[in-house]
Structure 1
């Protein structure tokens, strides 16, 4: 079955695009739109949030500033609202480009693993993502997340450098 061209009955590609609030992520999506987008592509945006606390244990400095546990749900709501706004903004960009899309939030201590789990769960054909962290040679090294995804993915991965 072909996934390119305009033949009748062709299957659309399912593209996973991890998102964050960075300009380099926006530029990576624009690169995708300009260079590899096919009409009919379906984009799955995923925003991965690494939790601050990874266990139920919380340590408090008795002499430190007051910790207000009633603020914890507000912080979670703030993260959810920012993630929702981010997803909606990317879905709007996709719609402007004539593409259908969905957006998801994952809270995970290992973002690379979360991206690959999303790819599997959503039957993804390709992952397109920004390069991530900048090493000593600016722009020459992959970030830890994109490096993990490239080396462990079972589907093609396109890394977009700025």
Structure 2
């Protein structure tokens, strides 16, 4: 047997050396014992909790449609999240504006709940205050969500460069999969 008849195999996830195989043999997705165990646990666990950040946009409703579809087919629960942006001022006009925004957030939640009930789905819901993208990431991590379904901003390239995108921030700052239906 020639040493050139064999080639080394490494785990496709962690890169750990697994062993050697014949040069002609093919392995599509080699895994070490640890990574194989993790994969099995992930497959068993599946998706059981879906987070849907909502606002008054049409893209938010598209995201809610996708979440309802996933929820029904995967047997997952849906939680609606509305984030009320809070600035660091304490004037009376700010208090009035905050109350108005809280009322608007509650209206958004009620619309989304009614939409879900038309589709025979009963979602949970939560309204929080803070910076939108940061609060979405914190809430998803704290409550162990398996999937985040959210609308993309649709602001356009220039506005997104200047102000940033909530969906872009969430995608880049969480390990939870994020789906943004178009």
In structure 1, what is the equivalent of residue 71 of structure 2? 37
Structure 2 gap segments, 5+ residues each: 1-40, 159-163
- Tell me the distance in 2 between the aligned counterparts of 1:113 and 1:16: 14
Change beyond 3 A, Cα 1:48–1:13 = same
- Tell me the distance in 2 between the aligned counterparts of 1:159 and 1:22: 13
Report 1:92-103 matches (<5 A): 92-103=114-125
Decide which of 44, 47, 52 is 2:82's aligned counterpart.
47
Change beyond 3 A, Cα 1:82–1:55 = closer
RMSD: 2.5
- Higher helix share goes to which structure? 2
Deviations 1:7-50 (A, max 9, x none): xxxxx71111000001121122223334x333532111111121
In structure 2, what is the equivalent of residue 135 of structure 1? 156
Report 1:2-151 matches (<5 A): 2=44, 13-34=48-69, 36-39=70-73, 40-51=75-86, 53-56=87-90, 69=92, 72-108=94-130, 110-136=131-157, 144-151=165-172
Q: Structure 2-normalised TM-score?
A: 0.63
- Tell me the distance in 2 between the aligned counterparts of 1:112 and 1:80: 17
Does residue 159 of the first structure (1) align with residue 161 of the second (2)?
Answer: no
Compare CA radii of gyration and give the structure with the larger one: 2
Structure possessing the higher relative contact order (Cα contacts under 8 Å, 6 or more residues apart): 1
Structure 1 gap segments, 5+ residues each: 5-11, 59-68, 138-142
